[in-house]
Amino acid sequence: MSSSGRHHDEEHRQLQQTLRLVLAPSTSASRQLAAVDQCAPTDAELWTRLSTEVDVLGVATPVELGGTGAPLSFLGVVLTELGRALYSGPYFSTVVLAGQALLASGDQVAQQDLLPRIVQGKLTASLAGLALGTDGLMAAQGVRATRGPDGWQLDGRAEDVWDGCEADLLVVLAAADDGTMCFAVDRDAQGQVRTATGGMDLTRSSAQIDFAGAPARPLGAFDAGQRVLDRLRVLVPTCLAAELVGIAEHCVDVAVRYALQREQFGRQIGSFQAVKHQLVNAYMDNEAAKCVTSYALRELAMSSSEAVSMSHVAKAAASDAAYKSAGTMIQTLGGIGYTWEHPAHLYLRRAVAGRVAFGSPSAHRRALLAGAVRSGG
């Protein structure tokens, strides 16, 4: 391993340890359950600490725009720790979805205006206009853009917009006569109705947004929308894979600790062969998912020709690992794992929701096979 690689590994560990200390008090089991029961809003104090004390809102943003300019591997560390803590704030929607869309748009004026405020925690954002296409992967659909005498306006409906009701800014992908375009819509703009929608994941808010002549600011040139979509189709599944790895890690850790504490017939249940096999299988699945996700982030950072295929592999592997690990945790816990009072079901819900978000494992595997066929592999 190169000295640069060892240096990054040490920095990753330091970031991981710092995040665990910061996240632990605010994302404990009792706090998570209370937030779900009371439909509590985002923890403003924790959001401030993430933007100032830990400075992770700008981890994937260039230095000249207020960020740290760190490699994508650092974003992976952050997302994994947020997954472990079942963080329910708008980090993914703001930093990954909207933030990376702004960077991919190439609109330097908008970037200089919006990204520093995102990095400072003063502006939350999300991405609208994405849905699953006929291939089961991300596509821009649902919103139409037209140009009138007073500028661009949006019409249509955007589904499953993460943190859509609370976002100060919406980055919207919309179909126009010249192709897919990218727009910015402020929270107080007329012509939009944001409606909270329920879902499997009780810890991540989602919204349906109806546009009816909403004034919108175009981002980048006419081909910016397609550039944004091409970038996000690779980046977002890989980033979600990192979060799902954190979910799987937490579930395995909880199951192992319980198996070492719980006794039946005078023995730790972790000494029973059937329990051992389940835990080892879950651990191995997660280690494999962690490795391919880390590799996918590295290839993406280098704009490698393997980035697209590794994104498919990472999302499929991490989705399966999180889902299976959550199930193993609940089975190991026994009766308590099936109750509302234990947060196990919240992790299972996040794993199930993340499994299908931005493409299911089967959709990514079909895309991987199709890519191999096209390349003659």
Task: Domain ranges for the chain, please list them.
Answer: 3-119, 125-225, 226-375
* Long-range own/partner contacts, residues 185-188 (CB < 8 A, 24 or more apart): 185/128, 185/154, 185/211, 185/214, 185/215, 185/216, 185/217
Looking only at the bridges linking them, the beta strands covering 143-148 and 151-162 are antiparallel
What pTM was estimated for this model as a whole? 0.94
Query: What is the pLDDT at residue 371?
Result: 82
Answer CATH for 125-225 from 2.40.110.10, 1.10.340.30, 3.40.50.300, 1.10.1270.20:
2.40.110.10
Query: What is the pLDDT at residue 140?
Result: 92
Structure tokens at 200: 């499997």
Structure tokens at 15: 């970031």
Query: What is the pLDDT at residue 154?
Result: 97
CATH number, domain 3-119: 1.10.540.10
Asked whether this chain's domains 3-119 and 125-225 adopt the same fold, the reply is no
Q: Is the dihedral of CA 306, 312, 316, 319 positive or negative?
A: positive
> 226-375: what CATH class?
mainly alpha
Query: What is the pLDDT at residue 178?
Result: 84
Hey, what's the torsion of the CAs at 309, 312, 313, 316, to 10 degrees?
A: -170
Q: How deeply is 77 buried, as exposed, middle or buried, from its count of CB atoms within 10 A (0-12, 13-18, 19+)?
A: buried
Q: Are 219 and 110 in contact (CB under 8 A)?
A: yes
Compute mean pLDDT per 10 residues along the chain, 377 residues long, and list them: 63 94 81 70 84 92 94 96 94 97 96 97 96 89 93 96 96 94 96 93 94 96 91 97 97 92 77 85 96 96 94 98 96 88 93 96 94 72
Query: What is the pLDDT at residue 44?
Result: 86
